[in-house]
C-alpha cells in the first residue's frame, strides 16, 4: 500500500513540474535592433503513450510574446524567421514533450 502512495505522489509531482515549466527568455529590444526570442510549452506523457498534459504551440507563442520587453513592447514589433520545433525527453516511465517557438524580434521605428 505504501508503494502505491509513493508512486502516486511522484506522478503528481511530475504533473505539477511539467505543467509549470514554461521557460524564460526575456529580452530587451531597442528601436531598429533585431533580437532572437523563444517561448516554450512542456507537457507530460505517461509511458510515452498516454498524454496527461499537452504542450501547446499557442502557449509557446504567448510565452514568446511575453518575453519581449523594452521599446519593442511599447512601439510594436515584427516577428521574422519564425521557427517551431517539437522535442521530447524520454525516461523509463514517462516522457516530457516540448514545443518551442523562436523568432527574431525587430522593434518598429
Query: Which pLDDT tens digit goes with each residue over 75-96?
Result: 788 888 999 999 999 988 889 9
Of the pLDDT bands very low, low, confident and very high (cuts 50, 70, 90), residue 58 is very high
Give the residue with greater pLDDT, 75 vs 98.
Answer: 98
Residue 43, pLDDT score: 92
- As a whole-number percent, the residues of the chain with pLDDT over 90 amount to 31
Pairing of strands 68-70, 50-53: unpaired
Look at the chain and report how many structural domains it folds into: 1
- How far, in whole angstroms, is CA 15 from its chain's centroid? 15
Tell the residue number behind the cell numbers 523563444, with chain if given. 38
State yes or no: pLDDT of 32 exceeds 70: no
Q: Give dist(CA 29, CA 32) in Å, integer.
A: 8
Residue 20, pLDDT score: 44
Structural domain for 35, as ranges:
2-107
- Beta bridge partners of residue 94, listed in sequence order: 46
Amino acid at each position: 500500500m505504501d508503494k502505491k502512495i509513493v508512486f502516486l505522489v511522484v506522478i503528481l509531482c511530475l504533473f505539477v513540474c511539467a505543467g509549470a515549466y514554461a521557460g524564460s527568455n526575456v529580452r530587451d529590444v531597442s528601436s531598429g535592433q533585431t533580437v532572437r526570442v523563444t517561448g516554450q510549452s512542456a507537457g507530460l506523457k505517461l509511458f510515452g503513450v498516454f498524454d496527461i498534459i499537452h504542450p501547446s504551440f499557442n502557449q509557446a507563442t504567448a510565452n514568446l510574446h511575453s518575453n519581449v520587453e523594452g521599446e519593442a513592447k511599447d512601439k510594436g514589433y515584427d516577428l521574422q524567421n519564425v521557427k517551431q520545433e517539437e522535442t521530447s525527453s524520454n525516461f523509463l516511465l514517462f516522457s516530457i514533450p516540448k514545443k518551442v517557438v523562436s523568432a527574431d524580434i525587430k522593434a518598429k521605428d
